């Protein structure tokens, strides 16, 4: 296994483990791990597998120690959003400029807000299953969206910025560019 891959894995695992630390509600690395995985893992398989595995392990630890298994019922929607966010990360893979990363971060935050709160409304019992119930669900979730956006921005900055610093500082972590690929 090469140094670049080891560092990428360490970044994902570290982000997932940070979910176990005390934090404000929804200020988590979930979307950032998915964007980062999609943007940096050369293998599509690893781009999906590593963020999913890290998420699953941290979910199981949180279920066993903090939330219990009841919290796992809403996780399918989170994992669907995670998969779409990995795909968004793949879209910025070749040109991950600050603007593209910021746009992808905002898109991922909105996706999680819309997707997970729709699931709360559709599969939960807190809100009536009509238009007013859906609006009430999304309205009640606005403070959590703000926190998710803050978390996404902070964790994306840490992951993408931190990796960029490591890449600049450690030659063996830099992506290998083959002469044929450079001239194309």
Tell me the domain boundaries of the chain.
3-174
Q: What is the pTM for the complete model shown?
A: 0.87
3-state secondary structure the chain: CCHHHHHHHHHHHHHHHHCCCCCCCCCCCHHHHHHHHHHHCCCHHHHHHHHHHHHHHHHHHHHHHHHCHHHHHHHHHHHHHHHHHHHHHHHCCCCCCHHHHHHHHHHHHHHHHHHHHHHHHHHCCCCCCCHHHHHHHHHHCHHHHHHHHHHHHHHHHHHHHHHHHHHHHCHHHCCCCCHHHHHC
Q: What is the pLDDT along the chain (184 residues), one digit of tens a residue?
A: 699 999 999 999 999 889 888 888 889 999 999 999 999 999 999 999 999 998 888 888 887 877 666 656 668 898 999 999 999 999 999 888 999 999 999 999 999 999 999 999 998 889 999 999 999 999 999 999 999 999 999 999 999 999 999 999 998 888 765 444 444 4
């Amino acid at each position: 296994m090469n140094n670049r891959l080891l560092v990428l894995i360490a970044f994902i695992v570290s982000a997932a483990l940070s979910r176990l630390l005390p934090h404000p509600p929804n200020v988590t690395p979930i979307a950032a791990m998915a964007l980062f995985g999609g943007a940096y893992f050369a293998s599509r398989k690893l781009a999906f597998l590593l963020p999913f595995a890290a998420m699953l392990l941290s979910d199981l630890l949180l279920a066993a120690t903090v939330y219990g298994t009841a919290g796992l019922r809403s996780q399918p929607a989170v994992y669907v959003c995670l998969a779409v966010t990995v795909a968004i990360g793949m879209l910025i893979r070749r040109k991950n400029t600050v603007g593209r990363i910021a746009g992808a971060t905002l898109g991922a935050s909105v996706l999680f807000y819309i997707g997970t709160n729709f699931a709360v409304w559709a599969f939960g019992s807190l809100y009536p299953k009509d238009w007013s119930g859906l609006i009430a669900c999304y309205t009640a979730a606005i403070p959590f969206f703000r926190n998710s956006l803050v978390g996404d921005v902070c964790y994306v900055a840490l992951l993408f910025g931190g990796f960029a610093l490591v890449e600049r500082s450690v030659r063996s972590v830099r992506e290998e560019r083959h002469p044929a690929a450079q001239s194309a």
